[in-house]
Amino acid sequence: MRNLLVVVMFLAGISLLVGTTILAQGSRSRERDIQEGKMLFHWKDSPTGIACIHCHADFNEKKEPDAHVRPAHPLFNGGFRAEWQSWDGRKITTLDLAISTCMQRWITERGEDGGKTPAKHQIRQLKAYLKSDKLSPEKKSKPIEPNFTKKLPRESALRVGDPKLGSTVFRKSCIICHATDGSGPAPSLLRNGYSRYQIAKKIREIDNPGLNGLVMPPFPMDRLSDRQLINVVAFVYQM
């Protein structure tokens, strides 16, 4: 009888040990995924030179704004939505798909028909980062409703922008990709030779030519108003 008790207690002890080791390993590998995901979000030498951070803030933009207003919405508290929003207004059902759509469109190595499919582990790591306590402390998120528009201000309105006000918009919304010395992931816009209309069109993404298989992300109205658009067009036009 006593022997049986010893055996039972011994077995219980072993399984407790194994159980906690597995749990600890699980949370350690999740920690590692979160760290790797954070590095990917800020990926310095991505195949296109573009990383998530060029378009999405990974911090609370309302409470701690930085110098930039990016084209896409912040992903702070964005890890737990019921549905996700794509860059063209399409709704997406899973976070995995939202991440891989963006990776493929802007970040992964370019093949013959655009970006290659991202690696599974990269999606897993980015997802772990987006859902981490630091990035999504509330563990729930409302869906975003970007106001995409294809309607441009009238030609006459595009002509009356203020380049001085526009230079501030440029520093906030464009320079993160279009460094004037050409060191950014997008071309320098110095002496670009575009018409006002062409510049405005780029910003709202009405045309789709794309350089090196890349397309500029659209700025919805709630990230860049028509007034700001008109002013930044005036600035870029005379650069």
What is the CB neighbour count within 10 angstroms for residue 157? 16
Closest CA to 125 of 3, 46, 40: 40
Residue 77 touching ligand HEC (CB under 6 A) = no
SS3 41: helix
Residue 131 touching ligand HEC (CB under 6 A) = no
CB of 15 to ligand HEC, least distance (A): 39
Residue 186 touching ligand HEC (CB under 6 A) = yes
Nearer of residues 9 and 91 to ligand HEC, judged by Cβ = 91
Among 106, 108, 125, 153, binds ligand HEC (CB under 6 A): 106
CB of 90 to ligand HEC, least distance (A): 9
Among 34, 38, 76, 102, binds ligand HEC (CB under 6 A): 102
Continuous segment of H or E residues that includes residue 91: strand 91-92
What tokens appear for 192 in the block?
């670009």
Residue 55 touching ligand HEC (CB under 6 A) = yes
Closest CA to 177 of 63, 16, 48: 48
| Single-letter amino acid, residue 166 | G
CB of 91 to ligand HEC, least distance (A): 9
Residue 211 touching ligand HEC (CB under 6 A) = yes
DSSP 211: B
Nearer of residues 25 and 225 to ligand HEC, judged by Cβ = 225
With CB under 6 A as the contact rule, which of the stretches 27-35, 50-58, 132-140, 156-164 interacts with ligand HEC? Answer: 50-58
Helix then strand count (H, E) for the chain reads 8, 4
With CB under 6 A as the contact rule, which of the stretches 5-13, 19-27, 69-77, 155-163 interacts with ligand HEC? Answer: 69-77
| Single-letter amino acid, residue 103 | M
What tokens appear for 194 in the block?
């575009």
Q: Are 190 and 121 in contact (CB under 8 A)?
A: no
d(C-alpha 79, C-alpha 144), whole Å: 12
Binding site for ligand HEC (CB under 6 A): 50, 52, 54-56, 71-73, 75, 78, 81, 84-87, 95, 98-99, 102-103, 106-107, 126, 144, 146, 173-174, 176-178, 186-187, 189, 192, 194, 199, 202-203, 209-211, 214-217, 219, 232, 236
